[in-house]
Amino acid sequence: MSNNIPAVELVNITKTFGRVHANTNVSMKIHKGEIVALLGENGSGKTTLMNMLSGIYYPDSGAIFIDGKEASIRSPKDAFSYKIGMVHQHFKLVDVLTATENIILGLEGKLNLKESEAKITEICEKYGFDVDPKKKIYDMTVSEKQTVEIVKVLYRGADILILDEPTAVLTPQETEKLFNVMRKMKEDNKALIIITHKLHEVEAISDRVAILRKGEYIADLVTKDTNAQEMTDMMVGHAVKLNIERVKPLSEPKTKLVVKNLTVVDSDGIKKVDDVNFEVKTGEILGIAGISGCGQKELLESIAGLQDTQSGSSVIYINDDGTEDELIGLNPYEISRKGVSLSFVPEDRLGMGLVANMDISDNMMLRSFRQGSTPFTDRKSPYKLAKKVVSVLDVATPSIETPVRKLSGGNVQKVLVGREISNAPTVLMTAYAVRGLDINSSYAIYDLINEQKKKNVAVIFVGEDLDVLLELCDRILVLCDGKVSGVVEDPTPEDKNTVGLLMTKVGGNNSESK
């Protein structure tokens, strides 16, 4: 800000992947000694834009200026030569090596660990990092690993640092520590860009905030002159009318599933789901909104019997006759043997829901192959089901025998959803059911879900597009950092800001709701 020449200037950057526009004509500037927050929803093109600065991608058009000179950054090595360093969300570290060995990996010259360690200690002291150069990566917490990644970038002399959602994996205390370090780097006249979608962090750390939406640059604002409301408006945009029908169920809703005190702790000791409580009724769609990675996946997997939960967690299924079954502690097969017809459309379609190398018919068998008392599988029914799914859901495929990996995203999802709804579920859970799908396929999926609702199925719909959630769902539960930050009953498109704010506020229970 003090300097007239920006450290980095992006001019009309455009990047497309196939027919997807990741970035369209984005221009922005970052100065030395300033922290810029890059704010946007999932899929708004934040990471793609920064990957072009770090040499992972090359822009289709547009120009990048470093210190006022045009730069061509074609590889991470080029990026380093311009003193640009990026800390990615997925760490690139070798587990069995020490912090020092990882930091100097790929550099040239004679190996002198002592000297390197001294230099690392020096960097750590300068910015207030807390890292033991001799510690092995596998002994480290996520936060320590992240520190190593940041030191790695600084060790190579980076003056422009990009941090891609660094706080997603950190506890509040660790986040505060990171922010302190960032402030020190700022004092050291470095340019910092932090990608985030948490408004309170934007407010806490940044000098300026640049907002992207659907690959387009919306605005940049001086942080202290703006407020959460304005940023949310810019981030989520105006409500878009989608005309998704909200159907009425055939009979009066009854409580079907009761989730109580559900807590999941991952292998790093981080609480992914934190004491979540809610109910789902028959004939309703419960929407779950939240920034991705806030515990949605773990929540659904806990209900489906795929996730270890903390003791005290409970998921109670209420049968039609009023009897109750505890689902926690059962695996998916045991759940189905109890007579609970629970369907789950997971986020990872080809890695979890389907077998990529098997054909449509064989994939239909995944749920039903155990049927019958002989050791043989019934091949005819899955084949019939496959034919039915293909014709009813209009799956574009050369044949039933085509491996599903060869189908397009929308058709893969139709096959998966088709199978999951084929065994008359009473509970249907979907995770990002329309991610990567085109408009027509998306509407086809909404129709399928509504059809299930009409049949009194209790539906849990985890989504990322707020417009869709607001129109499709009867209730929206908002998750933030594994906690329920609020529930919006009978939402309308006008509730978009409410939900948007709940998504970004930690402990938003007390924050404004309608």
Partner 1 sequence: MNQNKKEPLFRITKRTDIPPHKSWIIRGVAIVIALLVCAIITTLLTKANPIEVYSSIITGAFGTTRKTWITLQNLSILLLISLALTPAFRMRFWNIGGEGQILMGGLATAACMKFLPGVVPNGLLILIMLLAGIIAGGIWGLIPGVLKAKWNTNETLSTLMMNYIATQIVAAFILYWSGKQSSGKIGVINPDDNLGWLPKIGGIAQLLPVIIAIIITIVSYIYYNYTKQGYEIAVVGESDRTAKYVGMNVKKVIIRTMFISGALCGLVGFLLVGGVNHTVTTTIAGGQGFTAVMVSWLAKFNPFAMIFSSFLIIFMGQGAGEIATAMGLDSSISDILTGIILFFVIACEFFISYKVTFKNNKKEEA
Partner 2 sequence: MIDLVSFIPSAIQQGIPLLYGSTGEILTEKSGNLNLGIPGVMYVGAISGVIGSFLYENSVPRGEALNPLLAVLIPILCSLIGSLIMGLIFCLLTVTLRANQNVTGLAMTTFGIGFGNFFGSSLNKLVGNDIAAIEMSRTSSYFSAKLPFGDSLGWFGKIFLSYGFLAYAGVIIAIAIAIVIKKTRVGLHLRAVGESPQTADAAGISVTKFKYVSTCLGCMIAGLGGLYYVMDYMNGVWSNDAFGDRGWLAIALVIFTIWKTDIGILASFLFGGLYILHTQLPSGIEHKELVELYKMIPYVVTLVVLIITSMRNKKENQPPESLGLPYFREER
Query: Does residue 114 touch partner 2 according to CB under 8 A?
Result: no
Nearest distance from C-beta of residue 96 to partner 2, angstroms = 5
Nearest distance from C-beta of residue 374 to partner 1, angstroms = 9
Task: Measure Cα distances from 230 to 53, 121, 227 in Å.
Answer: 28, 42, 5
Q: In what order do the strands lie in the sheet with 216-222?
A: 69-71, 61-66, 8-17, 20-30, 216-222, 208-213, 34-39, 191-196, 160-164, 84-87
By CB under 8 A, how many residues form the interface with partner 1?
Answer: 39
Of these, 355, 436, 447, 511, which contacts partner 1 (CB under 8 A)? 355
16, β-bridge pairs:
21
What span, in angstroms and rounded, lies between the C-alpha atoms of 484 and 458?
A: 20
Instruction: Give the nearer residue to partner 1 in terms of CB position, either 138 or 369.
Output: 369
Q: What are phi and psi of 102, to 5 degrees?
A: -70, -40
Instruction: Give the nearer residue to partner 2 in terms of CB position, either 57 or 127.
Output: 57
Question: Which two structure tokens, joined as six digits, stand for 52?
Answer: 């072009």
Query: Does residue 251 touch partner 1 according to CB under 8 A?
Result: no
Nearest distance from C-beta of residue 514 to partner 1, angstroms = 38
216, β-bridge pairs:
24, 213
Angle between helical axes of 142-155 and 113-127 (0-180°, round to 10): 110
Map residues 22-61 to x or -, x wherever contact with partner 2 holds by CB under 8 A.
Answer: -----------------------------------x----
Nearest distance from C-beta of residue 138 to partner 1, angstroms = 16
Q: Which helix (H) or strand (E) holds 63?
A: strand 61-66
Residue 366 binding target from partner 1, partner 2, none, CB below 5 to 8 Å by type: partner 1
Query: Does residue 157 touch partner 2 according to CB under 8 A?
Result: no
What span, in angstroms and rounded, lies between the C-alpha atoms of 88 and 487?
A: 33
Of these, 36, 79, 104, 417, which contacts partner 2 (CB under 8 A)? 104
Query: Does residue 432 touch partner 1 according to CB under 8 A?
Result: no
Of 86-94, 176-184, 356-364, 369-377, the segment contacting partner 2 by CB under 8 A is: 86-94
Query: Does residue 443 touch partner 1 according to CB under 8 A?
Result: no
Q: Which residues contact 5 (CB under 8 A, 6 or more apart)?
A: 67, 68
Residue 77 binding target from partner 2, partner 1, none, CB below 5 to 8 Å by type: partner 2
Residue 57 binding target from partner 2, partner 1, none, CB below 5 to 8 Å by type: partner 2
Instruction: Give the nearer residue to partner 2 in terms of CB position, either 101 or 465.
Output: 101
Of these, 1, 5, 105, 118, which contacts partner 2 (CB under 8 A)? 105
Query: Does residue 101 touch partner 2 according to CB under 8 A?
Result: yes
Nearest distance from C-beta of residue 267 to partner 1, angstroms = 15
Whether residue 384 contacts residue 459, with contact meaning beta carbons closer than 8 Å, is answered with no
Choose among 493, 497, 495: nearest CA to 243. Answer: 493
Q: What's the sign of the alpha-carbon dihedral 227, 231, 233, 236?
A: negative
Query: Does residue 261 touch partner 1 according to CB under 8 A?
Result: no
Whether residue 195 contacts residue 88, with contact meaning beta carbons closer than 8 Å, is answered with no
Chain residues 323-342 in contact with partner 2, contact rule CB under 8 A = none
Of 21-29, 175-183, 357-365, 384-392, the segment contacting partner 1 by CB under 8 A is: 357-365
Classify residue 195 by its DSSP letter.
Answer: E
Of these, 4, 18, 19, 108, which contacts partner 2 (CB under 8 A)? 108
Classify residue 403 by its DSSP letter.
Answer: B
Choose among 311, 423, 404, 395: nearest CA to 354. Answer: 404
Of these, 20, 72, 74, 92, which contacts partner 2 (CB under 8 A)? 92
What span, in angstroms and rounded, lies between the C-alpha atoms of 90 and 146?
A: 9
Chain residues 381-420 in contact with partner 1, contact rule CB under 8 A = 406
Of these, 344, 432, 446, 461, which contacts partner 1 (CB under 8 A)? 344
Q: What's the sign of the alpha-carbon dihedral 304, 308, 312, 313?
A: negative
Query: Does residue 134 touch partner 2 according to CB under 8 A?
Result: no
Nearest distance from C-beta of residue 103 to partner 2, angstroms = 10
By CB under 8 A, how many residues form the interface with partner 2?
Answer: 20
Task: Measure Cα distances from 21 to 44, 49, 234, 410 in Å.
Answer: 10, 11, 19, 18
* Cβ atoms within 10 Å, residue 21: 16
Of 44-52, 124-132, 344-352, 478-486, the segment contacting partner 1 by CB under 8 A is: 344-352
Map residues 64-83 to x or -, x wherever contact with partner 1 holds by CB under 8 A.
Answer: -----xxxx-x---x-----
What span, in angstroms and rounded, lies between the C-alpha atoms of 278 and 272?
A: 16
Residue 222 binding target from partner 2, partner 1, none, CB below 5 to 8 Å by type: none
Query: Does residue 219 touch partner 2 according to CB under 8 A?
Result: no
Cα 88–Cα 231–Cα 442 angle in degrees, nearest 5: 70
Query: Does residue 136 touch partner 2 according to CB under 8 A?
Result: yes
- Render 447-512 in DSSP notation, one character per residue: HHHHHHHHTT-EEEEE-S-HHHHHHH-SEEEEEETTEEEEEEES--GGGHHHHHHHHHSTTGGGS-
Of these, 110, 114, 248, 380, which contacts partner 2 (CB under 8 A)? 110
Q: Which residues contact partner 1 by CB under 8 A?
A: 58, 63, 69-72, 74, 78, 304-306, 331-336, 344, 346, 348, 351-358, 362, 365-367, 369-370, 375-377, 379, 406
Q: Which residues contact partner 2 by CB under 8 A?
A: 57, 76-77, 92-97, 101, 104-111, 136, 138
